[in-house]
Structure 1
Amino acid sequence: MVRISLRSCGCANGSASRRSGFTLVELLVVIAIIGVLVGLLLPAVQAAREAARRMSCSNNFKQLGLALHNYHSAYKQLPRHHGGTWTDGNSPVDMNNRLDLSFLVGITPFMEQQAIWEQISNPNQSRVDGGLQTPPFPAMGAAPYHAQYSPWHTELPTLRCPSDPGVGLPAFGRTNYAACVGDSIERMDTGPTQITNGILVTPTPTAVAIESQAACRGVFVARRDMRFRDILDGLSNTIMCGEIATDLGDRDTRTLPAIENDTPTIRDEPDYCFHDGLVSPLRPRFWSDGTDGGTAPTLPGAFGGRGYRWAQAGTIWTSFNTILTPNREVCLGGAAGDGVNSPGVSTVSSRHQGGAHILMSDGAVKFVTDSIEAGNFDTPNVWSGGTGGAAPGNKSPYGLWGSLGTRGSKEVIEEEL
C-alpha cells in the first residue's frame, strides 16, 4: 500500500493549489497592443482598397482604348466628337441631337453595350418618367441635355471610376473619361463649323477653317472626322483620352467651373481664374465664397458639373485640354447664362492620390502626376492670330504636358511618364 501525505503534494493544510491567470494590468497591456496593431493595419487596408480601385479604373480605360481601336478598324476613323444630327432653325430638341453627341456614344457597341446602342440607333418611345414619347424620339436620339430621353440617363459601369463617389441627380449618366482636344481653347467645342441664328453655315467659311486648323491640335477635333493617320507625332506619344473627376456639389475647382465671360483673356492667360483670386486662399482646392479673402466666382447651375453627361460633348462633360497640370481648376470663358457650354481650360482630374490616368493613342494606360512639367501657364495658347510662341505651327507652350496633347506639332518627347 502506497501512502501519499498531504505534505508531499504541497497541500499541507489540504487547501487547493493557486490557480494561474491574467492580471488586470496584463489584460490592459494586451488590449493596448491590439489597438496599436489595428491602428497600424487600417491605413494599409485603405491603401490596398484604393490600389484595387485604381487598378479597376485602369482596366476600364483599357477597355475604352480597345473599343476605340475596334471602332477605327471597323470604320477607318475615330468616332466623331460633337457629332450626331442637326436640323436648321429652332427645331424641337427632342427631334435631333444638335451635333452635340460625345465620342462615347459611337463606341457603345464596342464596349459590350449593344443593348443601349440599339435604343439609341433606333426610334425610341421610352421616357425617364415612365411614359411614352409621341412621336417617338428619332434614331440617334434627342439632344443630350433632353431630360426625358432614357439612354442619356443610363449609367454605364465601364465609364465610371470606382474611386469616384459621385452618383445620382442632378447628373444624367456620369462619365469619368473624356476626349483630349489639344492644348488650346480656341474653337475646342465647335471645330471647323459655324452656326449662325440656328443655321449651320455651309460651306464652312474660310476664316473658320483656318482658325480650326491652327488651334485644334488634339486627337479629337469637334465636328470633324479624325483618323490614326492624322496623329503624326506617333500613337505612343499622343494622349487620346483622360480621366476626369465628377462633381459632388462642393465647389471643387476641378469639377465645377468658374465662368468668366472672357474667352480671349483665358486663352492668353490660362490660369486667369487663379490669378483673379477666385480660388479660396484658405482651401486651395475649392472656389472662394467671398468671405475668406478671395472673390466668389460665377458658378453654373445644377447641371454644370464635370462629367455629368456621358453622351454630351463639351468642355465640362467629356472634353479636356493639356494646358494646366492635372487636378487644376476649370475656368470657362462664356457668359453667365450659357457659360457652361463655352470653351475654357479644363484639365484631367481624379479621386486618386497625386494625379490621374491618361489613355495614349496606342491603347496604353498611364498615370500622370500633378507635378508633370507643363511650361509657363502665363503663355497664350497657339491660335490663328497668335504671335511669337503662340503663332500657328509652334510647339506647345505647355512643356511635356502640352506636347503629349498635340497630335502633330513635332515635339520630341524625352521623358517617360
Structure 2
Amino acid sequence: MHTSLPHLQVPDQPAQPINTGSRRAFTLVELLVVIAIIGVLVGLLLPAVQAAREAARRMSCSNNLKQLGLSIHNYQSAYQQLPMHGGGTWRDGAALDTNTTNRMDLSIWVGLTPFMEQQALWQQISNPLANNGGAPNPWPAMGPETTAVAYAPWTTEIATLRCPSDPGVGLPSFGRTNYAACLGDSLHYMDQGPLGIVNRTVYSMSNLSTHAQQAAAACRGAFISHQSTRLRDVLDGLSNTIFVGEIATDLGDNDIRTRPGIGFDSPPGEMLRDDPDACLDEGFNDATRPQFWLPGAITLAPNEEGRGFRWAASGAAFSGFNTIRPPNQEVCFGGNSASSHGVASASSRHQGGVHVLMGDGAIKFITESIVGGVHHHSNVWLGGTGDNAPGSPSPYDLWGALGTRASHEIVSDGF
C-alpha cells in the first residue's frame, strides 16, 4: 500500500530586476562645452578652408592666363603678328554712335576668340548679324561700336576672361574681363597710337607723321594702340616682357584700382605724364581708407566705365594697363573717359599681387612690393630729355622694365 507524500508548496520568489545599466543625460554645462569645442575647431579650420579655396581660385586664374598665352602664340603662328589692340573697322565720314563700324576700338580678345574655344562667338562677330533693334540691319561684320549694348556678342561673358577670385558680375558692365594687354611704361599716346584716334575719333589726319613719331618714342609695350606688333619686335626677350596682366573689375565702391578718376590733366597730356602719382599726391584718396577715392575729391568715370567692364573694347580702363605704378595702385586718367590715357596699373582680388603672362607663355605672380622706381618720375616720351629721352631705360625700375619690349634692360632671374 502506497502512501503519497504531501505536496510541498514552494513560496513564490520575488522577481529579480534585470540590470540594464544606468542611463544619464548630458548636463547643460557639458553640452555647452561640446558646442564650444566644435566652434573652436571650426574657427581653426575655416581659415585653412578659405585659404585652400583661394589657392584653387588662383590656380584657375593662372590656368586662364596660360590658355590666353597659347591663344596669342597660335594667333601669331596663323597671322605672323600679334592681335592688334585697337583694331577693327573704320569708315570715313561715319558719325559717332551710328554703329556702321566699330571705329577701330576692338581689344586683343576679339581677334583671339577662335583661338580660345569661342568659335561660335567669332562667327557671330566676323559676319553680319541680324539686328532686331533697328538700323543698321544687320549689324556689320566685325561688329558695331563697343558701346552698342544691343549687340549680343559685346555683352557675352567669356569664362576664360574671368578670374574666379573676382566677384564682379552684372550691370552696368557688358561682358567683363579680368585680363588686359600690356601697353608699356608710358601713358603718352597710349590711347592714340600712330593714328591719333582719341575716344573713337581721329582728331588730326594731317599729323599722321607726328603721331607715328610720338607713338614710336612712348608706346613701348608688347601691344600698341591701333598698330600691329610681332614677336620679333620683342627685343628684350619674351621671358622678360609682360604681354598680359590681371585687372580687378569694378564693384561700384569707388575703389581707386577699379573706378577711374578722370579729367586730371592740365595742360592736356602733360600733368600725369610728368607726375604719374599726382592723384594721390593731391589727396584724392580717403586718408582713413587709402584704397578708396575721397567722395567728391575727383571726377570719377561714369558707372558704365568701370575697370574691365567691356571685354571687347580697347579703352585703357577696359582692357589695357601700363607698368608706371606697381600692382594694385590707382587708375587715374588725364582724359574725360575710360578710353583715354593715364595711369592704369594691374590689379587683382588676390592677396598681395597680380598674375602676369610673359611673352614666352610663363605665368608669374608679381607682388605689390616689386621694385618700381620713383613713382612721380616723368614718363619717357618724344619731347623728354635726359633719362626721359626716347630710348632711355624705364624710370620705373624692374616693374617698368618688364613692361617694355625693346629697351635693352637687364632683368634679373627670379623676379
Counterpart amino acid of 2:174?
Answer: F
Partner in structure 1 of residue 34 of structure 2: 30
Rounded to whole Å, the distance in 2 between the matches of 1:112 and 1:279 is 41
Rounded to whole Å, the distance in 2 between the matches of 1:339 and 1:25 is 64
Cα deviation code 1:279-310 (max 9, x no counterpart): 100101100015xxxxx110111211000000
Q: Does structure 1 retain, via aligned residues, the 8 Å contact 2:83–2:112?
A: yes
TM-score, length basis structure 2: 0.91
Q: Does structure 2 retain, via aligned residues, the 8 Å contact 1:95–1:137?
A: yes
Cα deviation code 1:78-135 (max 9, x no counterpart): 01110011112243531000111111000000000000100000001145xxx46542
Rounded to whole Å, the distance in 2 between the matches of 1:163 and 1:14 is 64
- The verdict on how the C-alpha distance between 1:199 and 1:215 changes in structure 2, with shifts beyond 3 A counting, is closer
Q: Does structure 2 retain, via aligned residues, the 8 Å contact 1:192–1:223?
A: yes
- Find 1:94's aligned residue among 80, 99, 102: 99
Q: Does structure 1 retain, via aligned residues, the 8 Å contact 2:191–2:197?
A: no
Corresponding position: 1:46 with 2:47? no
Q: Does structure 2 retain, via aligned residues, the 8 Å contact 1:125–1:132?
A: no
Larger Rg: 2
Partner in structure 2 of residue 3 of structure 1: none
| Aligned residue pairs, count | 396
Equivalent residue runs for 1:243-254 within 5 Å: 243-254=246-257
Partner in structure 2 of residue 169 of structure 1: 171
- Find 2:350's aligned residue among 349, 352, 355: 352
Q: Does structure 2 retain, via aligned residues, the 8 Å contact 1:192–1:204?
A: no
Partner in structure 2 of residue 288 of structure 1: 294
Q: Does structure 1 retain, via aligned residues, the 8 Å contact 2:165–2:350?
A: yes
Rounded to whole Å, the distance in 2 between the matches of 1:339 and 1:125 is 30
The percentage of counterpart residues that share the same residue type is 58
Rounded to whole Å, the distance in 1 between the matches of 2:243 and 2:116 is 17
Partner in structure 2 of residue 74 of structure 1: 78
- For structure 1, which runs of at least 5 residues remain unmatched after alignment? 1-5, 291-295
Cα deviation code 1:45-86 (max 9, x no counterpart): 111111111111111111111000000000000011100111
Partner in structure 1 of residue 9 of structure 2: none
Does the residue aligned with 1:240 lie in a helix, a strand or coil?
strand
TM-score, length basis structure 1: 0.90
- The verdict on how the C-alpha distance between 1:274 and 1:200 changes in structure 2, with shifts beyond 3 A counting, is closer
Corresponding position: 1:235 with 2:238? yes
Does the residue aligned with 2:270 lie in a helix, a strand or coil?
helix
- The verdict on how the C-alpha distance between 1:282 and 1:16 changes in structure 2, with shifts beyond 3 A counting, is same
Q: CA deviation at 1:201?
A: 5.8
Does the residue aligned with 2:338 lie in a helix, a strand or coil?
helix
Q: CA deviation at 1:176?
A: 0.4
Rounded to whole Å, the distance in 2 between the matches of 1:83 and 1:203 is 21
Partner in structure 2 of residue 265 of structure 1: 271
Rounded to whole Å, the distance in 1 between the matches of 2:85 and 2:197 is 17
Does the residue aligned with 1:368 lie in a helix, a strand or coil?
strand
Corresponding position: 1:223 with 2:226? yes
- For structure 2, which runs of at least 5 residues remain unmatched after alignment? 1-12
Q: Does structure 2 retain, via aligned residues, the 8 Å contact 1:89–1:198?
A: no
Partner in structure 2 of residue 178 of structure 1: 180
Q: Does structure 1 retain, via aligned residues, the 8 Å contact 2:100–2:136?
A: no
Partner in structure 2 of residue 401 of structure 1: 399
Which shifted more, 190-199 or 145-154? 190-199
Which shifted more, 18-27 or 72-81? 18-27
Q: CA deviation at 1:23?
A: 4.1
Does the residue aligned with 1:208 lie in a helix, a strand or coil?
helix
Partner in structure 1 of residue 313 of structure 2: 312
- Find 2:189's aligned residue among 172, 187, 195: 187
Q: Does structure 2 retain, via aligned residues, the 8 Å contact 1:160–1:176?
A: yes
